[in-house]
Structure 1
Amino acid sequence: MKRIILFLLTNLAVMVILSVAWFVISKVFGLGVTMDKNGINYGSTLVLAAVFGFGGSLISLMMSKWMAKRSVGAEVIEQPRNEAERWLMQTVERQAKMAGIGMPEVAIYDSPEINAFATGASRNNALVAVSTGLLANMTRDEAEAVLGHEIGHVANGDMITLTLIQGVVNTFVIFFARIVGYFVDRVLLKNQGDGPGIGFYVTTIVAEIIFGILASIIVMWFSRQREFRADEAGARFASRQKMISALERLKLNYDTPAQLPSQMTAFGISGHRGSFGRLFMSHPPLDERIAALRHGQSSGFGARTGTVQ
């Protein structure tokens, strides 16, 4: 779950920063102005929204590996120091070859929870990280399935697809936030000046944050579908029974509070209870994932590979 939440929060922060930059450029240099006393230019507003919207998601993607490492304090294995790290590296290398992707960076982070995540800008520039809790509490067979799940996320290009979806969502968030800002500025506050007033700027930023949170429902739905595919990947790269056993192990530990930072929760294998309801859950319930594996269903986008995160 970590991967998704971190990506969303980074994307939201970048988008707000870009919006502020847009306002400054518009005010100081007169570039990118899409509103004057005659009204709002919907065409240029949509184009600029797309530029900034996709820009925000692409920056988030480029930063994903760096942010993930620092958020959990993950230590990349350069040279295996013990048998467990050697097994971890060998398993990831073998599964990466099976998936036809480049060898990801492999890292371990200190946490008592059972979790793992994968992230990165491309199939050949990825990171797979596991918690010390996973290594201590899962059998090798279960851990192998978890790694297969994560490798599946990378092989399926889930982060790239997420970036494209987020770019489209960002575009409409920025566009409609400016429509709301214009309405408040001109209709409610009755600004009759040549350009937008303070009401437009304040309302637009607030609307972007609100719309961005609501838009995360779309991204979370996408994330839930990809988890079924990732489970199928774990079944493919390890075995179906190993993947089921891994999920059952997670279910046994489900009552243990997650130790991942909140911004990283969406990237983990175990997911989150979804305190704001199913719409905001990044992972389907474990019972549904186990049932899908037992019935040989991917319940996703048709592919037979995917990851745990």
Structure 2
Amino acid sequence: MYDFSADSADCARAIEAGLSDYLTGARLSGPGPAADRVVAAMRHGALEGGKRLRPLLVRQAAAIFSLPKPAALSTGLAVEMVHCYSLVHDDLPAMDDDDLRRGRPTVHKAFDEATAILAGDALLTHAFALLSDPLCHPEAEVRIRLVSELALGSGAGGMVGGQMRDIEGEKGGFSPGEISIMQSMKTGALIRASVRMGAILGGADPRALSALTAYAEAAGRAFQLADDILDVTATPETMGKATGKDAEAGKQTLVSTLGLEGARKVLNDTVTEAIQALRTFGPKADGLRATARYFASREK
């Protein structure tokens, strides 16, 4: 029987160890020596915290095709580094202006704004270096597909574009449909990429990849909706960061549009949709099913 707690904890340990090993001056240097201060800021932004859910999705999707866990590690590290870069930049004064992340000072508070920008830039850049390395996958064609998938999920039509839409929505307002589009890009696109990258690593055929994409898109919506609910219901101590910021900024979310109970109903329906997309995979997809359920039940 699949044990979500054990698998997620094991994945988090593997990602923490992998990041700690990779984010060093020796590993990041070339053609010149990596600057110590930016390496320290990268480590501050990436280590000691986080649930590592996106690498877990990579691992779980790859497991459907019987790919061993170590074979998904480099791809999981790359996805997590992109996620961490986005948090470093989101916390900046020009963006969400947060002082705390995972219960610790954000990178721009622990260092300074310029260093935080450069640390985020470097995390993003080196993520693609990981994917291009033959240690990630022996076949160049697979590595190219992984690079393309992560670029699409994190770029102007994905995470970055969703953040831009979010900023625009603070000024002009959103319809419920526009909220969904924004959230599917800002949060959902990297979750979608994580699942698809795991499937690509495992050699999924087009039909399997399509089913897993449907799962990932629903799971991404569920994750963001749960996040919006927690912004209303959780305390800063529980979350390790400020809460209530959406309402304070006048930001429209499905919670503000539908109310708390309405949003919870949509969340449960969305998790059901995600799980139904996995019906052809049998027990091998139990990990992905458990993660979708976790999205709906998490408390931080």
TM-score (normalizing by structure 1):
0.27
Of structures 1 and 2, the one scoring higher in RCO (CA 8 A, sep 6+) is 1
Greater share of residues in strand: 1
Rg bigger for which structure?
Answer: 1
Greater share of residues in helix: 2
